[in-house]
Amino acid sequence: MQHHPAHVPSSPLLVVAGTHSGCGKTSVTLGLLRALTRRGLVVQPFKAGPDFIDPALHALAAGRPSWNLDSWMCPPHALFHTQSMASEHAPAPDLRLLEGVMGLHDGASPRSARGSTAELARLLDGRVLLVADVHAMARSAAALVQGYVQFEPGLDVAGVVLNRVGSARHRSLLAEVFAAHSPGLPVAGMLGRNTAIELPSRHLGLHLDAEADAFAVTLDRLADWVEEGLDLDALLARLACPARHQLPASPASLPASIPAPSVRLAVARDAAFCFVYAENLRRLERAGAELAFFSPLQEARLPEGIHGLYLPGGYPELHAPALAANTAMRTAVQAFARSGRPVYAECGGFMYLLERLETTAGSFPMAGVFPGMARMGERFAALGYREVTTTAATPLGPAGTRCRGHEFHYSFLVDSQPLDAAAGQVYHVTDRSGTPVPPAPSGACGGWQRGNVLGSYIHIHFGSNPRLAPALVAACARA
C-alpha cells in the first residue's frame, strides 16, 4: 500500500446539511449516493455525529462502508486520519459525501459550533449543500436560507435544495424569490413530496440481511427523485473547482501498510449486533488484529484460534428469542470470558453478557457473564455524549485512560446491586459539558469489569484516543 499523509484526500467533499432534523437531508443524501453511483462515480460516504443507522443505509446506497465524523468525540487530526483511512478502500473515491447531523449549526454546544455540521465543513473544507424544507413558504424561504448561510462566516455553500415543493405554481414562486433575493446562491434543485420514498423507522433502522434487497427499490426511487429535481451536472461542475483553503496537515502520518496480524479478534456481526464504528475496526487492524466476524444468532461456535472478543451494540432486544435459543453460543461466550482472555462489550453487547434480557415478548436467558437483568423501556434510558476516564487498568489501557463516545439506549438494569457486587465500576464519566454523570440505577454510564471482561452502555469511538486499539490488541496478545 502506498504511503499516505494524514490529511484529507484530494477528492472534493460535499456536505449535505439541513435546516433541521426531518427536513429531508437523509433522503437527499441517499438519493445522491445512489444516483452518482449509478453514473459510475465512486462515492465515499460519511456521517456527522455518533449515528449508526444512517451509515448502514449509506453503505447500501454507495456500495462501500460509511464512516462517522464527529468533532466532539475526535480531535481535528483524528478527523483527517478518518478521511484518509476511509479513502484507502479501493477504488479511490471520485467524491466524498458527508451527511450532516440535525440542523447545520446544531451540535454539542448551544454556545459554539462544536460538534456541528458547520464545524466539520469548515475543518475539512467541504462545500455545503443546504436542504431546506420549504413547505408552505415562498419569500420566507429566502430569509430562512440566508439566515443559515450568513449565521457564521467561513462556510462554502455550493447551493441549496428546496424540499417539499408543493406544485408547479409553488416552484415558479420559489424560483422568482431566490432570483430576486439570493442571486449569488445557486438553487441546486427543487424536490416535490413523494410518499413512495419514505425511510424506515429511526429506532428500528434497517436489518441489512433481511431487508437490503427490498430497500434497493427505495434507493432507486430516491435516485430517480434526485435526478429529476436536481441539476447534478451543474453541482458536480461546482465541486470540481479548486478548494478555497489549504487544509492543515496532521502531525502524524498513516502507516505505509497494515501490519501482519499478531492476534485474532472475534467481532460479533449480524442483525442483533450491527452498531460499530467503521474506524474502530480499521484501527484494530492497524494495531495488528485479524478480525474474525461471527454471528451469535446463527452460529454455534466462536471462531477458531481467537485471542479476544468484541461485542458491539445493536438490537439484541429484537432477537432475544433467537439469541436465547442458541444455547451453544451463549455457553461458548461464557466459557471464553471465564478463560481470562479479553472481552469488550458495548450497549447491546453488554446486554448480551447479562443473565437475562426482558422485552415485551418475555424474559430470555443471555450469556450470564455478568449477573443481573436488562429490561426494555418505552423511552430512552440515557442519551448524550460521554467522556470516560478509567479508574483501573482495563483491556483499553491503564488507569487514567481517557476516551470519548456516545450513549443511547432504551433498556435499563432492573437491579444493579448484583452487578456492582460482582464487577467493579471502572469508568468515571462526564457529559459533553464536563459535568460528572454518576452511574444510575438504570445502568446508564456504568463501566463494569469482571476479570478481563469490560462492559458498558457507552459506544466508545477509538478515534478519540489512538492508544485504545493498540491497548486492546496488546491485551489479547498477553492473554
Annotated catalytic sites, by residue? 347
Spatial contact of 8 and 80, defined as CB atoms under 8 Å apart: yes
Amino acid at 45: P
CA distances from 111 to 25, 114, 465 (A): 24, 9, 25
Positive or negative, the Cα torsion across 435, 439, 441, 442?
positive
CA distances from 402 to 50, 98, 124, 391, 429 (A): 18, 27, 25, 10, 10
Round the CA-based radius of gyration of the chain to a whole number and report it: 23
CA distances from 397 to 116, 426, 472 (A): 30, 12, 7
Spatial contact of 324 and 364, defined as CB atoms under 8 Å apart: yes
Dig out the grid coordinates for 120 from the structure.
Answer: 466539520
- Tracing cell 427523485 back to the chain, one arrives at 225
Spatial contact of 446 and 439, defined as CB atoms under 8 Å apart: yes
Q: By C-alpha distance, which of 147, 146, 135, 144 is closest to 173?
A: 135
Amino acid at 467: R
Burial (CB count within 10 angstroms: exposed 0-12, middle 13-18, buried 19+), residue 257: exposed
DSSP state of 276: -
Is 188 strand, coil or helix?
strand
**How far is residue 424 CA from its own chain's centroid?**
29
Q: N- to C-terminal Cα distance for the chain?
A: 30
Give the separation between CA 198 and CA 1, rounded to whole angstroms. Answer: 41
**How many C-alpha atoms does 132 have within 13 Å on its Cβ side?**
26
Q: By C-alpha distance, which of 22, 21, 37 is closest to 222?
A: 37
CA distances from 197 to 40, 212, 217 (A): 23, 15, 9
Give the separation between CA 73 and CA 79, rounded to whole angstroms. Answer: 10
Q: By C-alpha distance, which of 419, 473, 447 is closest to 310?
A: 473
- Tracing cell 480531535 back to the chain, one arrives at 75
**How far is residue 177 CA from its own chain's centroid?**
37
